[in-house]
Amino acid sequence: MLELTAELSRSLGEAAAAILRSSHLVALAGAGLSVESDIPPFRGPGGLWTKYGEPTNLSYREFTKDPKEWWEARFRNEDRPGDPTYELKVAVDAAEPNPGHHALVEMEEMGLLKCVITQNVDNLHTEAGSKSLVEIHGNRTWLRCVGCGVRQPRDVYHFDSLPPICTQCGGVIKMDTVMFGEPIPEDVLLASREQAETCDCMLLVGTSGTVNPAARLPLVAKELGATLIEVNPDATTLTSSCDITLNGPSGELLPLLLKRLKNGGAGEPGERA
């Protein structure tokens, strides 16, 4: 349980005041936001890459070399304990949105949060009710055509033959999740950049700030005068660029921040974390 120190209480007040002053708040979410949904992060304590090593940048090249084999391997779906992709799949399949996701939804419903740019592919923002969302690394519940970029829900697709072929352009269909070595689709890249250039306040939630182009977005916003607020139990590469840092788990801090926003920025007597 988070200890609500005087310093944290002060920082929460500063963050709430900055958000209430803002006219275009954007959140940049990373894997840390889903840790309290029991999905492991990639880096830092308990991270999948910490455990298994960072993957190479060859996944996309392997896919394009033999999409049929990639899809057949996926459908073979051997239980592969000790495989980070399998470990992530098991965790995401069982995950539910946590209070951090729900707090972002309420900030959006209050008209304060204009957009969430997420690096997470777990679909938990949508399940929690976020409407204005840019999924810069894709979404695991969708498919996307490599040729024309058309997306469709994975659940309605009949995998009669492999690899799945796009009925619009005849291109090969892949998971919407962006693979290592795959260019970020143009539409989400432009949308995320536009949000970073438009915002006057950016809430960095649970990201190590190590993977571009997402990690550059806060710096773009900062250069254009935005206030940066970081929510993270640990320091990151972005911490030194942030105006306000809230050290702790987002599943506890975002609901506390939401409470401040609802109270016009003030804390409540005897407020508990």
DSSP-derived secondary structure letter, 273: -
- The residues that touch ligand APR, with contacts defined as CB under 6 A, are 30-32, 35-36, 41-44, 47, 119, 137, 206-208, 210-211, 231-234, 236, 249-251
Active site residue 24: no
Q: Which is nearer to ligand APR, 35 or 143 (CB)?
A: 35
Choice among 101, 102, 125, 137 that is catalytic: 137
Give the pair of three-digit tokens for residue 44.
């830092």
Least distance to ligand APR from the beta carbon of 169, Å? Answer: 27
Within 8 A by CB and 6+ apart from 151, the residues are: 142, 143, 144, 145, 176
Per DSSP, the three-state class of 265 is coil
Which CB sits closer to ligand APR, 149 or 213?
213
Nearest to ligand APR by Cβ — which residue? 32
Cα-Cα-Cα-Cα dihedral sign, residues 230, 234, 236, 239: positive
Q: Identity (one letter) of the amino acid at 92?
A: V
The amino acid that residue 174 corresponds to is K
Residue (84 or 149) nearer to ligand APR, CB: 84
What is the C-alpha R_g of the chain? 19
Decide whether 13 or 233 has the Cβ nearer to ligand APR.
Answer: 233
Q: How far is the CB of 5 from ligand APR (least distance, A)?
A: 17
For residue 68 the two structure tokens come to 């049929």
The nearest distance, CB 260 to ligand APR, in angstroms, is 18
Cite the active site residues. Answer: 137
